[in-house]
Structure 1
């Protein structure tokens, strides 16, 4: 399958599966880029956790935080939605690195909010500006329904997420050790029902981060097969129900998998 055919099949999958909803897709391949509505801003949902991860490691490299410092997880700071910390016993503390890990691999909202408090919203947004993200902004903490009612939302775009993945994987603003740690965290992802759902993980390396809200389904990933690396982001919103979007993202992931592993298909 060549790159043009991959793009045509992705467009067919979107037309076949999506009765409604806005869809953005960016796939950066070694010598080709697929861009479908790539600059469209979306509610970020949990994709906002990717630039938060970058800022966490940036501050660690700058000596502003220590990844081994322990952070208490007060009962009153625990929030609902995704994650495990809300269900654990009262007297627990975790390292900053543990919180960053939980923020990614189970999309823990409590861990995310504790990390936002530790890093600072202004610093996270400064990171977004410094790496030239055009549409990404952190405007509220996770599960802050009061802020949501007042119109505050975290936003991003498929192109911005691809920029984050490239910097996480290759960016010279981070040491090799930091990049390896961030990749390791993403590779431990437990939420694998979208882009990785139809991939054979014995044949490809995948490091991904999902996002979802009612009417919103996102996933982004770094996918490697032998010497080939692909960066992919799929963002979908304005949904009446979420299942069709999850199926669409899984199908796009399978098409990318086939392109990487079966070039003669």
Structure 2
């Protein structure tokens, strides 16, 4: 186990990133713990919590997943994908908006759902599962707004300045949407065991996680046709995250949460994206080799 933690530690260091990781065998409970209880900024990973709240409200009869909602062009949340970049008004069902929110991390689709569900419901959903360190503080649009406010009139070029990065509220777990790697793997385990909501709801959530299009983070560590990766990424300046479940053809299934903060503020850092897959693979290999126990060690990464 110590060797695995050393390898994970080294991988994060070589990528010039701080890392937090938790991996657990969903069926045996064996775990790999690398600062799994550290508070982290969730960024778009929190869309998974919103998706859970959406399905719980549907089960309670508070909404219909086929309900049509409007996404006007005025006030539409910013983002690089999905409804966020479309030029015309859109009418879409809640469940199809959920697909865009998860598959391409569409901020505008997330805001449409959040307006219908509410932040209180998101926090109620995570509290119900005992995720005591997980909290939704802001909408996704508000999180981006705090970045614009904190950066000031210079705009995006200021994000190259470490002093500007240091003052961003969106990067402070105490002041933004937050969780821990252990909370996130607990949520994933509940989804894969049909405990987070109804079996039908859990299956629908698992399906959407499996439709995520990004192959450059966790999936990069598992380049096999017969290994299935289902996950949700999250990104903010210097932040790159992914939580997900890796399923092997022999029935092995592993919940993993990897959160990173890069030293370099550049928007494109392939080495940090890749280290999410590298460290996830190291953890899963250790779990599959039986070299860890349910009382795993903890290491604090640099």
Normalized against structure 1, the TM-score is what?
0.89
Partner of 2:130: 132
Partner of 1:232: 256
Q: Deviations over 1:107-149 (max 9, x none)?
A: 0000111111100111111112221112211111113244454
Q: CA deviation at 1:172?
A: 2.6
Q: CA deviation at 1:239?
A: 2.8
Higher deviation after alignment, 170-179 or 125-134: 170-179
Partner of 2:156: none
Q: CA deviation at 1:235?
A: 0.5
Q: CA RMSD in A?
A: 2.4
Q: CA deviation at 1:159?
A: 1.0
Partner of 2:99: 101
CA contact (8 A) 2:231 2:245 kept: yes
Check 1:105–1:112 CA distance in 2 against 1; reply closer, same or farther (3 A cut): same
CA contact (8 A) 2:129 2:196 kept: no
1:244 aligns with 2:267: no
Query: For the residues of structure 2 that align with 1:192 and 1:153, how far apart are their CA atoms?
Result: 27
Check 1:252–1:174 CA distance in 2 against 1; reply closer, same or farther (3 A cut): same
CA contact (8 A) 1:169 1:183 kept: yes
**Secondary structure of 2:264's partner?**
coil
Q: CA deviation at 1:162?
A: 0.8
Query: For the residues of structure 2 that align with 1:142 and 1:201, how far apart are their CA atoms?
Result: 33
Q: 1:183-198 alignment to 2 at 5 Å? A: 183-198=206-221
CA contact (8 A) 1:199 1:257 kept: no
Partner of 1:177: 200
Partner of 1:64: 62
**Higher RCO, 1 vs 2 (CA within 8 Å, ≥6 residues apart):** 2
CA contact (8 A) 2:23 2:280 kept: no
Unmatched segments (≥5 aa) in structure 2: 151-168, 170-174, 291-302
Q: 1:136-215 alignment to 2 at 5 Å? A: 136-144=134-142, 145-147=144-146, 149=149, 151=169, 152-215=175-238
Check 1:199–1:106 CA distance in 2 against 1; reply closer, same or farther (3 A cut): same
Q: Deviations over 1:195-239 (max 9, x none)?
A: 101322412111111111111110111111121110000011253
Query: For the residues of structure 2 that align with 1:169 and 1:77, how far apart are their CA atoms?
Result: 36
Query: For the residues of structure 1 that align with 2:196 and 2:84, how far apart are their CA atoms?
Result: 34
Query: For the residues of structure 2 that align with 1:22 and 1:256, how far apart are their CA atoms?
Result: 17
Query: For the residues of structure 2 that align with 1:205 and 1:172, how far apart are their CA atoms?
Result: 21
Q: CA deviation at 1:82?
A: 3.8
Check 1:42–1:261 CA distance in 2 against 1; reply closer, same or farther (3 A cut): closer
Partner of 2:112: 114
CA contact (8 A) 2:77 2:107 kept: yes
Query: For the residues of structure 1 that align with 2:93 and 2:130, how far apart are their CA atoms?
Result: 30
Normalized against structure 2, the TM-score is what?
0.78
Partner of 1:22: 18
